[in-house]
Amino acid sequence: MDIRKVKKLIELLEESGIAEIEIKEGEESVRISRGGSQPIYHQPAVHYAPPQVASAPAPVAAAAPAVAAAAPNNDYAVTAPMVGTYYASASPSSKPFVDIGSEVKVGDTLCIIEAMKMMNQIESDRAGKVTSVLAKNGEAVEFGQVLFIIE
């Protein structure tokens, strides 16, 4: 299932105030619910961001854990370990580190987040295939925001 659809569903869910949506598409199904089930999500390992940001994550970040919990396959969400500016490539002229469909190994650079003129290389801690790239080049990202989905 296209992760953008899932993202859209989450937004719909948030706007509507309904507690749960379940969508079936062929053999795949996704159920998204607010709260309830304990989300299983990637704990950002390096805590660069100040606590007040961490405790008030952006809506997308809050919704993301539900996706990870509900997705039926082995999707793994890579989240931003800090607040900053997202860059998909090492320089504006070079190509992105990863694209949809890229195979990544543990330790491969996925993107760079710039904060206070430090270029933080965000490395993959899972091996797999990138199925979604959720941040845009040059955009601000919040602590805990989902950047990539790796299958």
- Return the number of the residue (33 or 85) whose C-beta is nearest other proteins: 85
- Return the number of the residue (110 or 146) whose C-beta is nearest other proteins: 110
What residues make contact with other proteins under the rule CB under 8 A? 45-46, 48-50, 82-85, 87, 90-94, 107, 109, 114-121, 123, 125, 138-140
Q: In the complex, what is the shortest distance from the CB of residue 23 to other proteins, in angstroms, rounded to a whole number?
A: 33
Q: In the complex, what is the shortest distance from the CB of residue 103 to other proteins, in angstroms, rounded to a whole number?
A: 20
Q: Which helix (H) or strand (E) holds 5?
A: helix 3-16
**Tokens standing for 132?**
């979604």
Cα gap 68→73, rounded to integer Å: 9
DSSP state, residue 138: T
Cα gap 98→115, rounded to integer Å: 21
